[in-house]
Amino acid sequence: MKPQQFKNLIGAFAAAAVMFWLGACATQTSNVADTSMERALLTAHFKVQSATAAEQRNHLRTLPDNRFTMVKEGGETYYLYPDKKDGRLYVGDHWAYQAFVNDAKNNQLRKEGAFVFETDPSNRADNRTVVIWHGWSPFHEW
């Protein structure tokens, strides 16, 4: 086999391996979150459970579509978001809900042209969002 043929063969195998790997990754993530809303909920650390029992499926049907339901359990507040199509329930605590709301606000600001970043995303209690409009310092500092 000539060196050029060998390089072509190696390149073909590498391309096939990359395509196979990318296909496997796409398959894995599509089963977890099929919409941007579901991806945002998972990013905000909402937990997801499939409704496996008939009682759970019936309860899922009673929840309003495309809205959060706030519930209290054991002195804690939780936010429920139903995925009726796939029979799943997303549940988040106060911090997960705040992260979701802040992310939605930040995305809107980015669409409006602001540069937005969080100062300490890992610190759920003391994270701050900084917004810069086209190079101006934050307006509350004027």
Q: Write the pLDDT tens digit of every residue in 96-115.
A: 999 899 888 888 888 888 78
User: Based on the structure, what is the number of domains in the chain?
Assistant: 2
Give a yes or no: residue 137 inside a domain.
yes
Asked if residue 130 belongs to a domain, the reply is yes
- Sort 11 into a burial class: Cβ within 10 Å, 0-12 / 13-18 / 19+: exposed
- Residue 8 domain-assigned? yes
Q: Which residue has the higher pLDDT, 79 or 11?
A: 79
Considering the entire predicted model, what is its pTM?
A: 0.64
Higher pLDDT, 100 or 18: 100
**Residue 61 resides in a domain:** no
In a domain, 121, yes or no: yes
Residue 102 lies in a domain: yes
Beta strands in the chain (DSSP E): 47-50, 69-73, 76-83, 88-92, 114-118, 129-133
Name the residue range of residue 110's domain. 96-141
